[in-house]
Amino acid sequence: MHTAPLTFRIAAPSDPDVSNVLTLVRSAYRGDASRAGWTTEADLLADERIDHAGVLAKIAAPDGVILMAHDETGALASCCELLKRPDGKLAYFGLFAVDPTRQAGGIGRQVLAEAERYAKQELGVERMEMSVIWTRDELIAWYVRRGYTKTEETRPFPYEHLVNGKALRDDLYFSMLVKDL
């Protein structure tokens, strides 16, 4: 698989790409734009996933970062968040998005690998965790192929925090996946 080289950068509050992060995340997770990709939450949720203040809060979190990946033209191709948990040994991985028109070309694999490197070397953690909506078998299988284990742990879906929209199902919850780094 040929994959274009990516340049990684941690987002700052004043970063000109903050609004692009918002657009990217929304387009990858929700609505018809996300159907261009191979996995989407468009049939589960009809909200906006996150708002500008939500992105800024993640950037400003003392133990958190948003990692951005730009392609050779300088366009934002992917992003994710890493949040170091209070025990100092575990990082949460989330907000993972690849431009839906460019998925299935190896970008996601590269970004996850860089996130794991960053979590281990820069945040100093030993383990990564992530939450995936339980219905998303194809996505869980992708993470399992990347070395993650689906645990028995589940967490409630935050129905009360949906952004400008609604859920399309009332039986959602998260499955927790973990990987030793």
Does 29 participate in binding ligand COA (rule CB under 6 A)? yes
Nearest distance from residue 14's CB to ligand COA, in Å?
A: 25
Contacting residues for 59 by C-beta, under 8 A, at least 6 apart: 11, 12, 13, 15, 18, 65, 66
Cβ atoms of 123 and 91 within 8 Å: the answer is yes
Strand 90-98 to strand 127-133: parallel, antiparallel, or no bridges (unpaired)?
parallel
Does 109 participate in binding ligand COA (rule CB under 6 A)? yes
Place of tokens 């800024």: 56
Does 107 participate in binding ligand COA (rule CB under 6 A)? yes
According to CB under 6 A, which one of 6, 9, 36, 105 is a site residue for ligand COA? Answer: 105
According to CB under 6 A, which one of 82, 98, 119, 123 is a site residue for ligand COA? Answer: 98
According to CB under 6 A, which one of 38, 57, 124, 153 is a site residue for ligand COA? Answer: 38
Considering the complex, state which of residue 43 and residue 88 has its C-beta at the smaller distance from ligand COA.
43
- State the helix-helix crossing angle for 52-60 and 18-29, rounded to 10 degrees: 120
Nearest distance from residue 90's CB to ligand COA, in Å?
A: 17
Geometric angle at alpha carbon 83, from 59 and 172, rounded to 5°: 100
Length of the chain: 181
Nearest distance from residue 87's CB to ligand COA, in Å?
A: 22
According to CB under 6 A, which one of 90, 97, 119, 125 is a site residue for ligand COA? Answer: 97
In DSSP terms, which residues pair with 178 in a beta bridge?
Answer: 129, 149
Can you give the binding site for ligand COA, defined by CB under 6 A? 28-29, 37-40, 96-98, 103-109, 130, 132, 138-139, 142, 145
